[in-house]
Amino acid sequence: MNRMNYVCSVLAMLAITACAAVKPFPGVVPMEKPDLPLSAAMERLYDEWNPHEDRGNELYSNFKYTPLKGFPRTANVSRRDPTKVILVDGVYHVWYTYRHSECPPVGLKKATDTKPGTDWDLADIWHATSKDGFTWKEEGLAVPRPPKPEQGHRSICTPGILVWENRYYLYFQAYNKVGGQVYCPVRVASADSPNGPWKHHPEPVVGPSPEGTWGNIKINDPCPVVHNGRILIYYKGAPIERGDEYVLRMQGVSFSDNPLGPFVASKLNPVINSGHETCMFPWKDGVAALVALDGPEKNTIQWSPDGENFKVMSMIQVPPVAPGPFCPTAFAGDGNGRGFTWGLCHINPDGGGAANESILARFDCDLSLDVDRQIFKKNNLRFNPDTYFQKGVALPEYLKKEILREQKTLDRNSVFKK
C-alpha cells in the first residue's frame, strides 16, 4: 500500500466512524443539510424551506401598519381595494373602490337603486395622490360607472392599474345588479395621464369561464402584471354554484399582448388554490403572489417561474387585506422583478363582512431585493387582548351557550377513556 492509498483508506475509515456515531443536530444551524438522521420536519427545513428560515428568506416579511392622513371618515363613505401604487413625476398615485351612499349597506335582499347591498355596491373608482405615501390628497372621481344599460352601470369596483407603453389602464369588476351570484366580468378604462381623463373601453375584456367551470359567473379583483413581455391579469374566479355546493376561493390568470385584449385564460387555471383579494408582483424572473385569508394555503407568499405553477415560499401573519403595493418593477417585464417595501391595503373596521365602511391604510414590509430591513424578518408576533376579544375573534354569547350545553355530554362520553 503506497502512502497515498494509506491516507485515503484512513480518511475513509474516519468518515465511516463519523457517520456511525449519531450526533444530535447542532446548535448553530448548518447552511448545508448535515449528514445526520433527520426528522421529516428537518428534511423539510432544507428541502422546502431555507435553513435561514424567515430571517434569510427574501420572500418572507411581517407587515407594519400606519393610518393614513387625507382620507376623512364620513358617514356612509367607504374606500377599499386599492390598486398598486405608481410613481409618476415624483407623485404617488392610487385608485380604489369608493362608495358614498345614502345609508350603510343593507344586504343583498334589501338593496334598492339607492341603498347599497354590500360595501362594494353603488361604487365608482376614485383617485388619490401623495408625496410621501403617508399623507394623501383625495383627487376624487376617476372612472364613473358607465351609463345604463352598459355593463357596470350598477357598480364598478376593485380596480387594478397597468402602465403599458406610456398609457394607463384601470381594470375593474363591472356589475349590473347588486352583488351576489350575478354576472360580473372585468372592464377597462384607459388614459394618457394618471390624472385622466379616463375612457371606458366599450366591451368587457375578461369574462367568466365556461358553464360548469370554476369561474363561470364572476371575475373578481383583476390584478395586472407584466411578465416575459406579456400582460397577465390575475383574478379570483367564482362559480354560480357557490352557496349551494362545495366551491373554493381560487385564483386564475389570463394572458394578452394587448391591454384591451383579447385575454386568453391559462389552461392550468386555477393557478392558486387559496386567497381572497389577489396581489401578484414580478419577482426575479417569475411572478410572486401574496395569498391571504382563504383556503388551505392562506397567508402565504408564493412564487412561480412561469406565472402558472406556484410554490409556497413563506408563511406570513396578519397580512394586508387587498394589498396594493408600490411595486416599481410591476410593469417592467424584464425578468428582474424587485418586489416592494410598502403599499396600501384596506381594513374592514367591523372585523369583516360585506356591511362595512372600509378604510385604507398603509403597510410597510421587506419583500424587496433592494433593501434589507431585518425588523421585517422577525416572526413571533403577539397580540394584545383587544385582538382576541374583538367581534369575530371572541366567542359569541350564543355559541358559548351551545358549547356549555354540549360540554356535559361530551365530558361524560370521553373523559380519560381507555
| Of 49 and 235, CB closest to a second copy | 49
Instruction: Tell me if 19 sits within 8 A of 35, measured CB to CB.
Output: yes
Q: Which of 93, 99, 362, 377 binds a second copy (CB under 8 A)?
A: 362
Q: Which of 59, 347, 360, 367 binds a second copy (CB under 8 A)?
A: 347
Report CA torsion sign: 270, 172, 218, 79.
Answer: positive
CA 383 to CA 410: how far, in whole Å?
A: 31
CA 304 to CA 132: how far, in whole Å?
A: 32
Site for a second copy in 170-209 (CB under 8 A): 209
Q: Which of 116, 261, 270, 343 binds a second copy (CB under 8 A)?
A: 270
CA distance to 247, 269, 271, per residue, from 274 (Å): 11, 12, 9
- CB 5 to a second copy: min, Å: 33
| Of 154 and 283, CB closest to a second copy | 283
What the block records as the C-alpha cell of 342 is 410598502
Q: What would the DSSP string read from start to end of 323-388?
A: EEEB-TTTTT-SS-EEEEEEEEEEE-TTSSSSS---EEEEEEEEEETT---GGGG-------HHHH
Site for a second copy in 210-229 (CB under 8 A): 210, 212-216
CA 250 to CA 353: how far, in whole Å?
A: 19
Site for a second copy in 16-55 (CB under 8 A): 22-29, 37-42, 44-45, 49-50, 52-55
Q: How many residues bind a second copy (CB under 8 A)?
A: 133
Q: Which of 122, 186, 265, 279 binds a second copy (CB under 8 A)?
A: 265
- Quick one: DSSP state of residue 42? H
Q: CB-hemisphere CA count at 13 Å for 140?
A: 2
| Of 11 and 91, CB closest to a second copy | 91
| Of 8 and 36, CB closest to a second copy | 36
393 makes contact with a second copy (CB under 8 A)? yes
CA 334 to CA 331: how far, in whole Å?
A: 9
What the block records as the C-alpha cell of 174 is 363591472
| Of 124 and 158, CB closest to a second copy | 158
Q: Mark 95-134 with x for binding to a second copy (rule: CB under 8 A) and - for no binding.
A: -------------------------------------xxx
- CB 266 to a second copy: min, Å: 8
Q: Which of 68, 77, 248, 354 binds a second copy (CB under 8 A)?
A: 248
Helix (H), strand (E) at residue 254:
strand 250-256
| Of 146 and 352, CB closest to a second copy | 352
| Of 101 and 209, CB closest to a second copy | 209
Instruction: Tell me if 346 sits within 8 A of 68, measured CB to CB.
Output: no
300 makes contact with a second copy (CB under 8 A)? yes
